[in-house]
């Protein structure tokens, strides 16, 4: 069975090969860049979680999590360092949740910027899993964006504190990065296709001369010769061989005529 590309010209096939190889290179670089970027952003997220967890766990152990903000306190009172006051807020989209021994959420703050609530996904965390994780970040799968989580059992054994952050910002960043890679890749592939076609056309120009000379010989002009080309190239070696062959054919034909 003939290949669908068998009817294509050499110029078109070479151009297609260059474009396909370029596309594969862009796809590979895109995947590698996104993988490295996601790994880097995840490490940054883990650092933030560890920083928040380091300052929040002791306060949660001493005073728990406040369900409502202190509306009646003055600004001076709110700015005071009160380690025994229930923790009420955490920065950015990070959430902090206190889970009771029965798996019931006793309190939660933060996470207001996340489009998905993590509360329903925390009920699957068992004390054994918390101990197994040993205060190391891990991922909880969610339908939209996953969550990166650090969980720690309270020394009293009366609950578990979970600090979590959604992958939503990372996913959004990677999506924009992917779109940027696609636009740049398409622009570069178009440029490579046009440039490679021009370069290949120049490289194959001697073959067009070979074709024209062959047509003259087919019409009976045995004196036709191919113009000299540098012999260190493939086309040059082909031209030299053809000229030698044409010379011998002309000599043989002349000898027969005589």
Could you tell me the pTM of the whole model?
0.56
pLDDT value, residue 11: 77
The Cα–Cα gap between 167 and 118 comes to 12
* 23-49: pLDDT as tens digits: 888 888 888 888 888 888 888 878 877
Residues of the chain with pLDDT > 90: what percent? 0
* 137-195: pLDDT as tens digits: 888 888 888 888 888 888 777 788 888 888 888 888 888 888 888 888 888 888 988 88
Residue 81: pLDDT band by 50, 70, 90 thresholds? very low
Domain ranges of the chain: 11-173, 206-253
pLDDT value, residue 63: 55
């Amino acid at each position: 069975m003939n290949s669908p590309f068998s009817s294509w010209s050499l110029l078109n096939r070479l151009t297609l090969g260059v474009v396909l190889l370029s596309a594969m290179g862009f796809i590979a670089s895109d995947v590698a860049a996104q993988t490295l970027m996601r790994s880097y952003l995840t490490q940054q997220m883990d650092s933030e979680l560890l920083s928040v967890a380091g300052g929040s766990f002791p306060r949660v152990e001493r005073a728990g999590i406040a369900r409502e903000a202190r509306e009646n306190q003055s600004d001076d009172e709110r700015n005071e360092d009160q380690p025994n006051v229930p923790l009420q807020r955490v920065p950015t989209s990070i959430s902090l949740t206190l889970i009771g021994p029965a798996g019931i959420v006793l309190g939660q703050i933060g996470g207001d910027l996340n489009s998905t609530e993590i509360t329903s996904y925390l009920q699957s965390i068992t004390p054994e899993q918390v101990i197994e994780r040993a205060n190391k970040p891990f991922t909880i799968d969610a339908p939209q964006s996953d969550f990166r989580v650090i969980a720690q059992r309270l020394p009293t054994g009366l609950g578990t504190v979970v600090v979590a952050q959604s992958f939503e910002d990372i996913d959004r960043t990677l999506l924009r990065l992917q779109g940027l890679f696609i636009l740049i890749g398409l622009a570069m592939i178009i440029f490579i296709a046009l440039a490679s076609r021009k370069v290949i056309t120049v490289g194959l120009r001697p073959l067009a001369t070979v074709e024209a000379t062959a047509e003259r010989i087919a019409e009976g002009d045995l004196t036709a010769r191919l113009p000299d080309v540098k012999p260190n190239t493939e086309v040059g070696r082909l031209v030299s061989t053809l000229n030698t062959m044409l010379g011998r054919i002309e000599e043989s034909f002349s000898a027969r005529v005589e």
